[in-house]
Structure 1
């Protein structure tokens, strides 16, 4: 099972223990990346607290009765504050797809922050009292969170946020042809942290959609069908660029039937269990003619009907489409 990069720098990594972290060179212009914004990855559903990693748990200095000047600043005048965001420090301002959230420390809340406002706007203006705030800017799964200080005065420079983000688009191939998007889904995980663990960034993503991500290394787990036809590898997303990668799945399609005699009609309501030779369960289903996509290999198929159990060992080859018949005898 190999990843075939459309970008020559998206390297195959079939074994997670043999990861290489080579930089990616495949990219489109920034305008192309934004021009594909209609292929949204649906990242808006993530809760606001998830974007505050590294900041949510930190304590923001509280107003102190011993410092009346600070207290006056927190309850001071309202100032319009304009926000802008870029993919890279030298890139153009992002013109669509941004979501902004403004938080502030809640007095007496043990250092926690409360959300004050949310806007879906490329260049929003928030009316904020003088004081300190936490602002999150997100574009898909790419985001940045930092603190700002609003000072007295009607004219203030725009607060600029650099997302340091790019895009990832995956293509899935089966038997040399592109797989239907509804037959493949993939999950995106972060690179390993200091404790050798990964965090799930996005699940159930579909091929050919652009996923916006912060620059970095990601672990991709792609599943074809509903069983164990799985391929995994690492890809690197570069800021301001679109990385395109393809993954090739090895798989076989099998339809199962339990019959009273060879060539007979399939019995309804049959309970099916597909196992590895070691007894590990791969798939359970119920029906007369269930069809499953499996990784090539050897399996034990168990059928239960009317209180009786039947089983058969089968071997499936890559690219094979077959009907597996279990005869009641």
Structure 2
């Protein structure tokens, strides 16, 4: 189970994943990828993605690697346009966006033989401009002899200005794990271009009986589709997210798998990501944390060199450990603890209730069936 709330445009940058790579990833296109893009777009691509307002809820994990995208050429430093700014040049009249809606009211005068193209992006047709965290790349729209599409320019500004020679290009912009591309044809006049990048954010938390679960004990994998409606992808879209992480995704439907501790405390929930909104979601686990101990007397010291297994009533193994004091997080239900020590096997039945953590002690040499965590005796053979 889960509940979610919506907030307006997220103000913080995307976190880095566990491999140390920025969640805003450097994008490069393969010849096949750009060829397919160019085949699908008209010469003057002016399409806009419809604004999609979705509501939803959610319950985890490392971003998957982006597609291989070879490029050639020497890009300018990130955050700087390809060229030097000169005197200002006013935009031609009849632009697609009003001056109040676009940061490029006046564009810098381009160098000789170049044209200034001012770029910006917004969350939707009627949504705000994206203020930070964008990564822009401009590719030539024709491959070289090697088959690679040259990278012409790149920037990490929210509204960069690129100085380009007349001709065709593919402009790609990424924000978190969301991205969009447009083919443009540069003529003789400077102008501005604005892309619609429908992206939203989600932050994840978990609790048991309204008590927050420590962030280090729970993780999340995010999948495309809907678990409840049977439209679920089998491959994680984002893996290994932590509680409180802000994860930026393309707007759409997702479902999240939340894993609490080491055991079988795993739950799923659907979430809908809306453009320009952050969905803050809490998932409600029904599980308990148990520690296993093999002892000679109740409350005694745990015996070392004990091998442990936790089984379901049907005999299926849930978890194994060679630790003296293993700790497992288990979903509500009935289980059997199996301890192997000094050539003998000792077992004990116990019950886990949501939010009720505690020890499970298995005693040497006694045969007592324990119905719950509160009973400390065990049975051996």
TM-score grouping bracket, smaller chain normalisation:
0.7 to 0.9
* 1:63-97 CA-partner distances (Å, limit 9, x unpaired): xxxxxxxxxxxxxx554433211111123322211
* 1:34-61 CA-partner distances (Å, limit 9, x unpaired): 43x15x3337347545999x94562757
For residue 206 of structure 1, what is the aligned residue in structure 2?
A: 242
1:181 to partner: Cα distance: 2.0
- How many angstroms apart in 1 are the aligned matches of 2:307 and 2:204? 35
* Residues 106 and 291 of structure 1, relative CA distance in 2, 3 Å threshold: same
- How many angstroms apart in 2 are the aligned matches of 1:34 and 1:46? 15
* Residues 192 and 51 of structure 1, relative CA distance in 2, 3 Å threshold: farther
For residue 278 of structure 2, what is the aligned residue in structure 1?
A: 242
1:162 to partner: Cα distance: 0.8
* Residues 312 and 158 of structure 1, relative CA distance in 2, 3 Å threshold: same
**Does the CA contact (< 8 Å) of 2:23 and 2:177 recur in 1?**
no
The answer as to 2:80 corresponding to 1:106 is no
Farther-moved stretch of structure 1 (274-283 vs 181-190):
274-283
The answer as to 2:181 corresponding to 1:145 is yes
**Does the CA contact (< 8 Å) of 2:144 and 2:150 recur in 1?**
no
Mark the runs of 5 or more structure 1 residues left unpaired by the alignment: 8-26, 62-76
- How many angstroms apart in 2 are the aligned matches of 1:275 and 1:78? 71
* Residues 290 and 237 of structure 1, relative CA distance in 2, 3 Å threshold: same
The answer as to 2:201 corresponding to 1:164 is no
For residue 97 of structure 1, what is the aligned residue in structure 2?
A: 133
* Residues 46 and 275 of structure 1, relative CA distance in 2, 3 Å threshold: farther
For residue 82 of structure 1, what is the aligned residue in structure 2?
A: 118
* Residues 303 and 130 of structure 1, relative CA distance in 2, 3 Å threshold: farther
The answer as to 2:340 corresponding to 1:304 is yes
Instruction: Tell me the TM-score normalized by structure 1.
Output: 0.74
1:246 to partner: Cα distance: 2.1
Farther-moved stretch of structure 1 (124-133 vs 182-191):
124-133
Q: 2:216 aligns with which of 182, 186, 189?
A: 182
Mark the runs of 5 or more structure 2 residues left unpaired by the alignment: 40-112, 366-381
For residue 363 of structure 2, what is the aligned residue in structure 1?
A: 327
Larger radius of gyration: 2
- How many angstroms apart in 2 are the aligned matches of 1:146 and 1:282? 50
Q: Secondary structure at the match of 2:216?
A: helix
Q: Secondary structure at the match of 1:58?
A: helix
For residue 233 of structure 1, what is the aligned residue in structure 2?
A: 269
**Does the CA contact (< 8 Å) of 1:97 and 1:120 recur in 2?**
yes
Structure with a larger share of its residues in helix: 1
* 1:139-197 CA-partner distances (Å, limit 9, x unpaired): 2222222323333x3x422221111122222332222122222222211111169x955
- How many angstroms apart in 2 are the aligned matches of 1:135 and 1:149? 10
- How many angstroms apart in 2 are the aligned matches of 1:225 and 1:252? 10
CA RMSD for the aligned pairs? 3.1
Q: Secondary structure at the match of 1:158?
A: strand
For residue 58 of structure 1, what is the aligned residue in structure 2?
A: 36
